[in-house]
Chain A
Amino acid sequence: MIEVIKMENISKIYANGPTEVRALDKVSLTIGKGEFVAIMGASGSGKSTLMNLIGCLDRATEGEYFLEGIDIKEKSDDELSYVRNQKIGFVFQSFNLVARTSAIKNVELPMIYAKKGRQDRNDRARLLLENVGLADRGHHVPSELSGGQKQRVAIARALANNPSIILADEPTGNLDSKSSMEIMEIFERLNRQEGTTVIVVTHEPDIAAFASRVLTFRDGKVILDHKPTLKKSKSLAYKKRGEADAVD
C-alpha cells in the first residue's frame, strides 16, 4: 500500500489562558492511496482539527505528518499553499464558492494559482463540470445554483489540479437527502474509477456507510478504526425514514 498520509503522535494544543486544550492527543494514523475514509465523532472530538492538519491549513503542535512523503513541518507558509494547491482538494459543508463568480471561474481558481494557461484552465474547468453533470451551468453564479449543484461545482473545483486526496468536511451537511446521495455517489465513483483518495468528515452514519473505513474520534483520540456499521443499501432507506419523521 502506498501511504498518502502518515501521522505519528500528532498533538494539537490550544493555549486558552492558563488552561490548555488538547484538541488532538498523540494521534497516529496512516491512510493509503485509493482509500475512502470517513472520520466520525461528536463536535469537539477533534475531527475538525484533524481535517485542518491533514489539509495543511494548520500545523501540529507536536508530532510528525508526512503527506506523500513530504514533511509538512519543514515547509514555509507559502510552500504549504503550494502543497494545498497541488495535493489537496477541499470540499466544505458550506460549499465556499466565491460569490458573484461563475461556476467555471470558481473551478478555474486552483488552476490560476497553479499558473496554468487561460485556455487549458477553461478547457479543464468545462470537462470537470461536465463530469459532475453541470455542463450547462458553467456561467451561472453560485446564487443561481441549488445546494447540490453548488457542492458539485465545489467537487469539480477540488479536482482541478488532480490532487492526491479529496478532503470533504461535512459535505452533505447543508443538503437534502437526494442531493446528499448524489454527492456521495460522485465521491464513490471518483474513488472506484479514478482511484482518488477520499476523506470525509461526517457525523451521519449513512454518509459514513459509503466509506470503506471509518475512524471514530473522541476527546482528541482515535477510539475506533473499523468498517462502516451501516450497509449502504440500508442507509438510503434510513435517511429517508429520518426525513419523513422530521416532517411529522
Chain B
Amino acid sequence: MLWIENIHLALGAIWANKLRSLLTMLGIIIGISSVIAITSIGASAKGAVSDEFESFGKAYMYLMVDYNMLAEQGSDSEADAEDLFSKEDVDALKERFSEDILYAVPFVNRNLSARVGRTKAEISCTGVDDNFESYNKTINVIYGRMINESDVKGGRDRIVIDNKCALKLFGREDAVGELVPVTLDNESRDFAVVGVIALEEGLSSQITAAIGIDSYTGYVPYTSLLSGNEVASFIEIYGNPDKDVKAQGAAYAKYIARVKDKSEDFYIHESAEGQQNVINQVLGVLSIAIGAIAAISLLVGGIGIMNIMLVSVTERTREIGIRKSLGARTHDILSQFLIEAVILSVIGGIIGTILGIGIAALGMSLANVDVVIQPLIILLAVVFSAGVGLFFGLFPARRAAKLDPIEALRYE
C-alpha cells in the first residue's frame, strides 16, 4: 500500500521538476541508448549477414592458399602461379569427390568495360559453370537463361547481365540477343547477352551503392575468362549440404595439396560459417568499445542521480520532518526516496531504450536491413537502470531517513 503511495509521490516530485529530472536522466539515457543501439545494430547486421550467406547455401566455400602461412615462412608472401588453381586442378577435385561436390569452378572475377554507342558501363563479371543458378539462390532470371553447358564447354563469349545494366546499355531490360562490346586485357570482344537477371536488394548491393560504386553484375562462362594456362586464386565450391562443411573443406584442401604436390596444410578453405565468425568477432570488439562508453555514462548518470537526490533531500528536509512527526518510520522515508531514485533512472532507461531502438532503426533503414529488436536486452536495460537508481539512490535515501525530526522540522 505504501508502495503505491511512494510511487505516486515519486512521480509527483519528478514531474514537479521536469527539466531537472530530464537533465538528471541524461547520463542514463545516453548509456542505455548506446547499449540498446549497438546491440540492436549488431543483431540486425548479424541477421542480414546470415541472410546473405544463406543465399549462398550452407555448404558454400572456397579453397585458397594459406597466405598467413606463406607470410610466416618469410620473404615472399605472394603465391606463385603454379600454386594457384587451373581448370585441370578443379576437374581433378570434382572427379575425386564427385558424390559431394555439386559445383566447383576456378573463381574468376573481372571488371569488363562495356561500351554501347556512347554509353559506358563497368560490369563486374564472375565466371560460372552451368547450373550455377541451382546453387546460388540470389539468381533470378527474368529474361532468357543462365549460362549453360555448351556455353562453358565452348568457352563462348556469352553473358548474363543485370536488369539495371541492360537498361543503361540498351534502354530496356529485355536485352537478350544484344551484343555487349567490351575491352578485356586490351582486347576487344563481343559478349552476346543470353539472359537478364533481377538484382536482389541485399546488404552487399547496399554497401556498393553507399560507397558510390556504380557497378553492374554480370555472369559469363568461366572458360571464357580463363583460357588455357591461366590460373585462379580461389576454387569456388558448393559442397554437400547434408555433410559436415568443415570436414569437407579440410578434405578438399588436403586433396588439392596432394594434386599440386604441396605440403598438407598449404591450402585452406573458407566457408560462410567461418566468415560469420569473423563478422561476429568484429561486432564483439565494437560491442566492448560501446559497452565501455555506456558503462562510463551509466556511472556518471548514477552519480548525477545521487547528486540530485541529495539536493532533493535537502530541499525537502522539512517535509521529511513533517512526515516523521506524523509517524513515518525510518524505512518509510528510505523507501520513499529510494523509489524516487529508481523511478527516475528507470524512466531514463525507458527513454534510452526507445532512443536506442530509434537510432538502430534509423541506421538499419539507411542500410535497408530489417531492425532486430531483442526483448531480453530491453528488459535487461530497464532492470539495470533500476539497479543504478537503487545503488546511487541508497546514500541520499539513507541520509533522508536518518534525519532528526526536530532538526528537520526547524529547517528553513
Interface residues, chain A, CB within 8 Å of chain B? 52, 55, 57-58, 77-78, 81-82, 84-86, 90, 92, 96-100, 109-110, 112-115, 117-118, 157, 161
Contact A57 B329 (CB under 8 A): no
| A74–chain B nearest beta-carbon distance, Å | 17
Q: A57-B405, A112-B2 are in contact. Are A99 and B319 (CB under 8 A)?
A: yes
B327 touches which of A86, A100, A117, A118 (Cβ 8 Å): A86
User: Which chain B residues numbered 21 to 66 have a C-beta less than 8 Å away from chain A?
Assistant: none
A81 touches which of B1, B16, B328, B406 (Cβ 8 Å): B328
Q: Which residue of B lies closest to A52 (CB)?
A: B406
Is B354 among interface residues, defined by CB-CB distance under 8 A?
no
Bound form: Cα–Cα A161–B326 in Å: 10
Q: Which residue of B lies closest to A48 (CB)?
A: B406
Q: A96-B318, A99-B319, A115-B2 are in contact. Are A78 and B330 (CB under 8 A)?
A: yes
Q: Which residues of the partner chain A approach B332 to less than 8 Å between Cβ atoms?
A: 81, 113
Nearest 5 CB-CB pairs, A to B?
A: A85-B327, A113-B327, A81-B329, A78-B329, A110-B326
| A34–chain B nearest beta-carbon distance, Å | 23
Q: Which residues of the partner chain A approach B406 to less than 8 Å between Cβ atoms?
A: 52, 57-58
Q: Which residues of the partner chain A approach B328 to less than 8 Å between Cβ atoms?
A: 81, 113
User: Which chain B residues numbered 320 to 368 have a C-beta less than 8 Å away from chain A?
Assistant: 321-332
Bound form: Cα–Cα A86–B322 in Å: 15
Contact A92 B326 (CB under 8 A): no
B326 touches which of A78, A113, A115 (Cβ 8 Å): A113
| B21–chain A nearest beta-carbon distance, Å | 15
Contact A100 B325 (CB under 8 A): no
Q: Which residue of A lies closest to B321 (CB)?
A: A96
Contact B330 A100 (CB under 8 A): no
Contact B409 A110 (CB under 8 A): no
B409 touches which of A78, A85, A96 (Cβ 8 Å): A96
Is B12 among interface residues, defined by CB-CB distance under 8 A?
yes
| A165–chain B nearest beta-carbon distance, Å | 14
Contact B325 A157 (CB under 8 A): no
Bound form: Cα–Cα A97–B16 in Å: 17
Contact B325 A57 (CB under 8 A): yes
Contact B327 A92 (CB under 8 A): no
Bound form: Cα–Cα A86–B406 in Å: 19
Is B261 among interface residues, defined by CB-CB distance under 8 A?
no
Beyond the given pairs A52-B406, A113-B332, A114-B327, 15 more chain A to chain B contacts, judged by CB atoms under 8 angstroms and listed by A's residue number, are: A57-B409, A58-B406, A78-B329, A81-B324, A81-B329, A81-B330, A99-B319, A109-B322, A109-B323, A113-B2, A113-B326, A113-B328, A113-B329, A115-B2, A117-B1
Q: Which residues of the partner chain B approach A98 to less than 8 Å between Cβ atoms?
A: 319, 322-323
| A59–chain B nearest beta-carbon distance, Å | 11
Q: Which residue of A lies closest to B318 (CB)?
A: A96
Contact A84 B327 (CB under 8 A): yes
Q: Which residues of the partner chain B approach A84 to less than 8 Å between Cβ atoms?
A: 324-327
Bound form: Cα–Cα A99–B9 in Å: 12
Bound form: Cα–Cα A98–B406 in Å: 16
| Between-chain CB contacts (< 8 Å), 30 pairs | A55-B325, A57-B324, A57-B325, A57-B405, A57-B406, A78-B329, A78-B331, A81-B324, A81-B330, A81-B332, A82-B327, A82-B329, A85-B326, A90-B325, A90-B326, A96-B318, A96-B321, A96-B322, A96-B409, A98-B323, A109-B322, A110-B326, A110-B327, A112-B1, A112-B5, A113-B327, A113-B328, A114-B327, A117-B1, A118-B1
